[in-house]
Structure 1
């Protein structure tokens, strides 16, 4: 009986990895719901299907609470983030996902209105997403600052901001390009009523930010992503959301806005 116990093979348990997620269309929609949707849930499903060493579980947080939740170890990593979005002074590991996106200015189309409309913010009413870090504001996400300095109304929905433009309740909004392309595809009538800037407010150079003492490190995560890339699974997933892999070090210029 003892001999039989000695030859029983050891089975390594799958390591659980908690991934923080806040509502950030099209990357994550309604992470607190029973069936969150978006790029991140689809990506975690791909990662879980591709290997058995780790199981990635989505953990809801919020745009403002995500810093404290990582420090307090309520999740282990967060994807599609930027180190510039309020993470200064927080000890973490980084992995460059080599996925780029950008935020563009959007206004309502009007007779005679051209790209010159986006040259300045002066006198314009803005519709912005609460908690977001905007390039034109020096990445200061303080709501009082944005409201007083830029005559901004803060909401929790890109669609609401676009509807404010269409109903003349705001003059200008700043929208992720990936989200805007999905919206335009789904709302062809509204698409013709919107003027989109060639000017870029900021470029997202997406990273994974990891808790240093967590169950997976940047090198291990990089190996998993390399597997998805080699099979073309990551590229196919990104295309669904109007995104693509960027070349290492590729830059897209964001023009300064006249304030």
Structure 2
């Protein structure tokens, strides 16, 4: 009896008194934030951010769950994921319950054309009669945030792909007139091939500013204020800047009141 009691006490001492709660983070292909997560490769800025969050504390363990741009809404509603990041409430979330945390990050969508003699910034003023290359599933401000491929193809003579790099190549080969590219992704592409800079004209006109939010399910194991506190600690220790600044993603003041939808 005494031996059994001592053995049980010993096992209790070896058992952790707590276990980190798992937070499932949805990952849809959105370069450079997340790059083809369905392939199993931990590439992009989201895996770096999750690694920094996991190093920061031991109460939560953030894990990446592959999703897709159209499927992420269903995954979120059905509880397959607890959090989605780098989102905007205008991108199809109007009828879905969530709480939002301002990530204090801003990116932008810019227009890119092939550089030609006499072609100046006014070339981007009028998109009519121009062939556009767009990223399938994205919500563009110039199109009223309507992501329908049929609508974009018929209304704006658009070609839709799943690659900013492919869209940029179509511009360089004169297969389309203009591509819309995320500023951060353009910075990554130019870092890989600096010579491209001499062959393209980048618009001063911005289609939209990406002010990024993290959206949390109401039943998520972590609350909005708790997650906001973790992000603030990463800002304070310089990790947010180290991850995002190289891609021209700006750290901006966090807005005091984040939008929240609870239909």
Shift of 1:6: 7.0
Q: Number of residue pairs matched? A: 250
Taking the aligned partners of 1:197 and 1:105, their CA distance within structure 2 comes to: 5
The gaps in structure 2 that reach 5 residues or longer are 257-263
Deviations along 1:82-106, one digit per CA (max 9) or x if unpaired, are 1110111101010000100110111
Kept in 2, the 8 Å contact 1:182–1:242? The answer is no
- 1:192 partner SS: helix
Kept in 1, the 8 Å contact 2:102–2:255? The answer is no
Deviations along 1:131-152, one digit per CA (max 9) or x if unpaired, are 0000000000001000000000
Kept in 1, the 8 Å contact 2:107–2:248? The answer is no
Question: Residues 249 and 227 of structure 1: is their aligned pair in 2 closer, same or farther, counting only changes over 3 Å?
Answer: closer
Q: Residue in 2 aligned with 1:208?
A: 214
Taking the aligned partners of 2:255 and 2:75, their CA distance within structure 1 comes to: 30
From the two aligned structures, give the one with the greater helix fraction: 2
Question: Residues 149 and 80 of structure 1: is their aligned pair in 2 closer, same or farther, counting only changes over 3 Å?
Answer: same
Shift of 1:243: 1.6
Taking the aligned partners of 1:236 and 1:57, their CA distance within structure 2 comes to: 21
Whether 1:52 and 2:58 are equivalent positions in the alignment is yes
Whether 1:195 and 2:195 are equivalent positions in the alignment is no
Kept in 1, the 8 Å contact 2:171–2:177? The answer is yes
Taking the aligned partners of 2:178 and 2:120, their CA distance within structure 1 comes to: 13
TM-score by length of 1: 0.92
In the TM superposition, what are the counterparts of 1:221-232 in structure 2 within 5 Å? 221-232=227-238
Q: Residue in 2 aligned with 1:95?
A: 101
Deviations along 1:233-254, one digit per CA (max 9) or x if unpaired, are 111111232223112459xxxx
Q: Residue in 2 aligned with 1:166?
A: 172
Deviations along 1:168-213, one digit per CA (max 9) or x if unpaired, are 1000111111111121121122221110000000000100001100
Q: Residue in 2 aligned with 1:142?
A: 148
More moved, 240-249 vs 186-195: 240-249
The gaps in structure 1 that reach 5 residues or longer are 251-259
Q: Residue in 2 aligned with 1:176?
A: 182
Greater CA radius of gyration, 1 or 2? 2
Taking the aligned partners of 2:179 and 2:49, their CA distance within structure 1 comes to: 28
In the TM superposition, what are the counterparts of 1:1-259 in structure 2 within 5 Å? 1=2, 2=5, 8=12, 11-249=17-255
- 1:163 partner SS: helix
TM-score by length of 2: 0.91
CA RMSD of aligned residues (A): 1.7
- 1:32 partner SS: helix
Taking the aligned partners of 2:255 and 2:234, their CA distance within structure 1 comes to: 21
Taking the aligned partners of 2:229 and 2:150, their CA distance within structure 1 comes to: 42
